[in-house]
Structure formats: C-alpha cells, structure tokens
C-alpha cells in the first residue's frame, strides 16, 4: 500500500493553525490539521474577544501592528458579520494616569490609522462625559465570538479538502528522506511540510523534536484572566478602566445577563501547569469593579471565570522590558528546513498572519497535490461559513429565519443566526428533530457533531456556543446523554 502524503501538516487547532490550514487548502495544498484536544480549546477561546487595533499598543509605538490590525478589523467584519459586530468603548479620563490631551491625541491617531476605502462603518472617536460629569472618550471597535471564528475557518478548510483530526496530539515528528513522519497517539501521518502553530506549546514542539536552533526566539508565556459577574449596568457599551499600574481592564456586557471583566497579566513558567485564574487575579479585578461601579462584590459574586496564555515572542528587546504589558503582540515566523513555526499574534491578525505564512510556503515550491481553488492570496474578501450576507442585514436574516422556523422563540432565532449565519437555515432543512430542553434540538446537536467536530458536551456548551452560561443542569445533562448515545 502506498502511504498518503500530505503537502502540509499543521500542528494546532487554534486561530493561527486553522487560518493557515484554510488559506493553504484554498491554494491547492493537500492539508492535514492535527489538534491535541478540541478546536479552539486553548488560547483562542480564552481571549477578550475583541477585533481591535489595540489602542494601548500606540503607547509602545507599535504603529505597524495597529495599522495592520485596523485594516484586518474591516476585512473580518465583512467576512463573518454573524459572529462579529461593533462594540462601543468608553474610556473615562483618569487625571493622575494620563493627561486628557494625550488620550485624545491617541484616539485621533487611532482614527487616522483606521482610514481606508473599505473602512467598516464604525464611528470615529469623540469626547463625552459620564453621568457623574467625569470626562471620557468614546470610540468603536469590534466584538468577535472567538471560538466560533476558529470553527468557521476549519469548516472552510474542510470544504476545500483539508483533513481535520481533533483529540489527537502530535507526539513526534521525524524527517525521513523527503518528508516528515508525524506520529500522534492514534496514527502515523506523512507530510512534506510542517507548520507548528501550537500556541503556548510552540517552543515545546520544537524542543521535543530537536528542532530548536539558534534562531529560535524564546517565548514569554503571559496568563490573562477574566471573571464573569451578573450584569453591572444596562447599557451595551464597554468601559476601559485605566489603572495606576498602567494596565487597562475592560468591562464588557456579555451573553445578555453578564458582564465580562478582564484582563490581568501574569507571567507563567510553562503551559503545562493548570491554566486557571489565581486568587490574586480575582481580587485585582474585583477591586477595580468595586471601585469604579461603587459595588461591594466578593468572590461569591463571580459566576464564571477563565484564563488563557499568550505566547509572546521575545524579540530580544522584550527581556529588557519590565512588564509583559510592554511585550509586542506582533507575530514572528521562525523557518527551519521544511518547517515554519508561528510565534505570538492576535486573533485580529490571524488572517494576514496566515496569508504571510502561505507567501513564504509558496516560495518553497512544495507540490500542491490537492484541488486548487485560488492561484495566490485569496482570503481577504471571501466570507466565512454562514457569513455571506451584508453586515447591516443581520436583523433581516433573523426575521427570515423566524418566518421559516416559527417553532423557535425570538431569542433562539437570534442565537442561531448569530452562531451560524445563513448556515442556520441549512441546519434545519430536514426538520428540527426533538427538543432536548430550552429549544436545543437534536438537529442542532447532530449538525455540531457532523459538521463542526463536536465530540463532547463541553465542546458544544463552551466552544461551539456559549450555552454553558444559560442552560439548566437538566438540559446540559440531556445533551450529554444524547451525545453519549451517538457513540462518538
Ligand atoms: C487573556 C487573553 C486575551 C486576549 N484578547 C485578545 C483580543 O481581545 N483580541 C485579539 O485579537 N487577541 C487577543 N488575545 C490573543 C489571542 O487570543 C491569541 O494570540 C491567539 O488566540 C493565539 O492563537 P494560536 O492559534 O497561536 O494559539 P492557541 O489558540 O493556543 O492554539 C494552539 C493549539 O495548539 C494545540 N497543540 C499544542 N500542542 C499540540 C500538539 N503536540 N499536537 C496537537 N495540537 C497541539 C493546542 O491544543 C491549541 O489548541 C488574547 C489572549 C489572551 C491570553
């Protein structure tokens, strides 16, 4: 039997790995994606969920990164308007931290850097006041359902021929004659080129396989945590709370009933330790809320929390910098013979990161043995799954969905169209199946198993959706039972 040889094997099903797998499949590379757990199970579901230029990076003079991110902001909005939408930010002025003129100037610059012919219809910044008379500045960026952005990219890669394997950790990679032999816990694969997009584990993958060279930068692992509390205020805007330690903390209306507060920044030694919010981080965030919103919340008021790790590449300058806050969020590729490793990055820049990775790979003349859909760079204007509608037509789509599937309440219609966009219509083409409770139907669960690689109830409740924050324990148990019956 001749063994199947993939053109590219991507290690890591976070946003960077799946972005590269999608772009590569479109260009005709026969692509394999290997993820050790669930898609988006690491950093890419633990972010603050903003598609933003990164206002605070201006303070580090990271103008290139801000400009690139702002251009990506416009592109991503058009690619997936169901899971991405505008969010208004209010930045209260704190006299003792930064002068008002400096912040105003920063936002003029931010507006200026965002100028382009295809700018998303976001409002420019303006000065305003809080109800207590405090000066503030208002501006807009975008919100993204981070884990769904990952899934949509994988669907697109699969539709163009990529093979996707989840819950399959890469254990070793060995170059043999003219290709890599990639050993996972379940199988052996062969590929001509490797992409190491293992996020916080990028360094470990290189080290374990003796692929580290002098050029390999070190990574600084910085944990960021969020807490979720009951809704703190009725308005739909996000507050940016500046702190005297120069950090900023976001408070964002979240999942209707909650407020998401984050993020902290603490350096950790390795991504193998349990990644979880510390008591100290909880206290830090609670203090900030209590001070700004004049509340007296305690640990008991934290409904949920999550933590993620940023793999920031150490650009040499970084080690001289004192705080993780100042380390660049830009990305870097490290190339070795037949391997490319991704260091750093942001959700916001994943598409352009993938495009640049593919530009490098294209120059290596690796054979393209898959079906070729596009000749070169192609991802900047093609919608992601379910996103093939104009951004201002989402409410119209929800109404259409409601008239087609009157069985669902208005709330469910909004949830389904927000998660799946136009694909929500396909999901129920052959009926809704039966209701597992709270309008979660077997048709939806079947779809998530067959079309979105869901293998456990947690995959569905935490990453294909955010239903974990809404459903009763009974409904969650019924979903779990139903999935167990499917013998996945
Ligand atoms: C707290 C926090 C807030 C953030 N907020 C924002 C934000 O608002 N906006 C923004 O643009 N960016 C934000 N970021 C940055 C962004 O989340 C990350 O840059 C991005 O998610 C990194 O994606 P990744 O694919 O590189 O890594 P990951 O998402 O971590 O993916 C790497 C994957 O590789 C897999 N893997 C590792 N080893 C193996 C192996 N041996 N075999 C198979 N698979 C393996 C892992 O399981 C993992 O799924 C934030 C980051 C943090 C931590």
Encode pLDDT of 341-377 as tens digits.
999 899 999 999 999 999 999 999 999 999 999 999 9
Query: Which of 239, 21, 218 is CA-nearest to residue 130?
Result: 239
Q: Residue 387: CB within 6 Å of ligand 1? A: no
Start-end of H helices in 264-388: 279-293, 317-320, 350-362
Q: Residue 153: CB within 6 Å of ligand 1? A: no
Q: What are phi and psi of 92, to 5 degrees?
A: -65, 145
Stretch among 1-5, 171-175, 254-258 having the lowest mean pLDDT: 1-5
Q: Residue 205: CB within 6 Å of ligand 1? A: yes
Q: Residue 312: CB within 6 Å of ligand 1? A: no
Q: Give 316's pLDDT tier (boundaries 50, 70, 90).
A: low
Q: What is the pLDDT of residue 96?
A: 84
Residue with the smallest CA separation from ligand 1 atom 21 is: 44
Q: Residue 200: CB within 6 Å of ligand 1? A: yes
Q: Residue 237: CB within 6 Å of ligand 1? A: no
Is the pLDDT at 61 greater than 90? The verdict is no
Q: Which atom of ligand 1 is nearest to the CA of 349?
A: 11
Segment 179-196 mean pLDDT: 97
Q: Which atom of ligand 1 is nearest to the CA of 18?
A: 25
Alpha carbon of 346 to ligand 1 centroid (Å): 8
Residue with the smallest CA separation from ligand 1 atom 19 is: 346
| Average model confidence (pLDDT) across the chain | 93
Residue with the smallest CA separation from ligand 1 atom 33 is: 12
Q: What is the pLDDT of residue 350?
A: 97
Residue with the smallest CA separation from ligand 1 atom 35 is: 12
Give the separation between CA 189 and CA 163, rounded to whole angstroms: 11
CA distances from 391 to 159, 167, 190, 383 (A): 23, 34, 41, 11
Is the pLDDT at 326 greater than 70? The verdict is no
Segment 27-41 mean pLDDT: 98
Q: What is the pLDDT of residue 330?
A: 79
Pairing of strands 179-184, 170-176: antiparallel
Is the pLDDT at 206 greater than 70? The verdict is yes
Share of the chain above pLDDT 70, in %: 96
Q: Which residues contact 426 (CB under 8 A, 6 or more apart)?
A: none
For helices 63-79 and 350-362, angle between their N-to-C axes, nearest 10 degrees: 100
Is the CB of residue 195 less than 8 Å from the CB of residue 256? no
Is the pLDDT at 1 greater than 70? The verdict is no
Q: What is the pLDDT of residue 325?
A: 58
Question: What are the tokens at 354?
Answer: 């993938």
Is the pLDDT at 277 greater than 60? The verdict is yes
Q: Residue 204: CB within 6 Å of ligand 1? A: no
Segment 162-174 mean pLDDT: 97
Residue with the smallest CA separation from ligand 1 atom 38 is: 198
């Amino acid at each position: 039997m001749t063994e199947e040889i993939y053109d590219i094997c991507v290690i890591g099903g976070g946003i960077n790995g799946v972005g590269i797998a999608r772009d590569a499949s479109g260009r005709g590379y026969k692509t394999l994606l290997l993820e050790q757990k669930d898609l988006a199970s690491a950093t890419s579901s633990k972010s603050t969920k903003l598609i933003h230029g990164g206002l605070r990076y201006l303070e580090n003079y990271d103008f290139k990164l801000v400009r690139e991110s702002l251009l990506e902001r416009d592109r991503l909005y058009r690619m997936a308007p169901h899971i991405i939408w505008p969010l208004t930010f209010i930045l209260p002025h704190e006299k003792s931290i930064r002068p008002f003129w400096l912040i105003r100037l920063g936002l003029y610059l931010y507006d200026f850097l965002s100028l382009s012919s295809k700018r998303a219809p976001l409002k420019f910044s303006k000065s305003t006041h809080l109800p207590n008379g405090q000066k503030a500045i208002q501006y807009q960026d975008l919100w993204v359902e981070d884990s769904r952005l990952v899934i949509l990219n994988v669907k697109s890669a699969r539709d163009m021929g990529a093979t996707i394997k989840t819950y399959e950790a890469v254990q070793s990679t060995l170059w043999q004659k003219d290709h890599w032999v990639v050993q996972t816990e379940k199988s052996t694969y062969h590929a001509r080129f490797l992409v190491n997009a293992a996020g916080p584990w990028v360094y470990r993958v290189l080290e374990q396989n003796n692929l580290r060279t002098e050029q390999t930068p070190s990574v600084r692992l910085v944990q960021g945590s969020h807490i979720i509390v009951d809704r703190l205020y009725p308005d739909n805007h996000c507050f940016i709370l500046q702190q005297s330690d120069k950090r900023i903390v976001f408070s964002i209306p979240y999942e209707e009933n909650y407020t998401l507060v984050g993020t902290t920044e603490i350096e950790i030694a390795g991504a193998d330790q349990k990644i979880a919010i510390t008591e100290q981080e909880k206290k830090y965030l609670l203090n900030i809320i209590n001070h700004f919103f004049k509340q007296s919340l305690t640990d008991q008021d934290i409904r949920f929390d999550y933590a993620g790790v940023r793999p920031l590449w150490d650009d040499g300058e970084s080690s001289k910098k004192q705080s993780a806050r100042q380390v660049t969020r830009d990305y870097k590729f490290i190339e070795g013979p037949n391997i490319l490793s991704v260091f750093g990055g942001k959700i916001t820049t994943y598409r352009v990161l993938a495009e640049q990775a593919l530009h490098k790979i294209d120059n290596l003349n690796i054979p393209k043995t898959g079906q070729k859909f596009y000749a070169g760079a192609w991802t900047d204007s093609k919608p992601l799954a379910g996103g093939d509608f104009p951004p201002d037509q989402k409410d119209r789509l929800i109404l259409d969905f409601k008239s087609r599937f009157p069985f669902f309440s208005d709330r469910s219609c909004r949830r389904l169209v927000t998660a799946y966009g136009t694909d929500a219509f396909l999901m129920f083409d052959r009926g809704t199946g039966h209701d597992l409770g709270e309008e979660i139907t077997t048709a939806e669960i079947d779809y998530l198993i067959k079309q979105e690689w869901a293998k456990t109830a947690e995959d569905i409740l935490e990453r294909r959706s955010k239903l974990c924050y809404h459903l009763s324990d009974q409904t969650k148990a019924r979903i779990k039972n139903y999935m167990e019956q499917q013998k996945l």
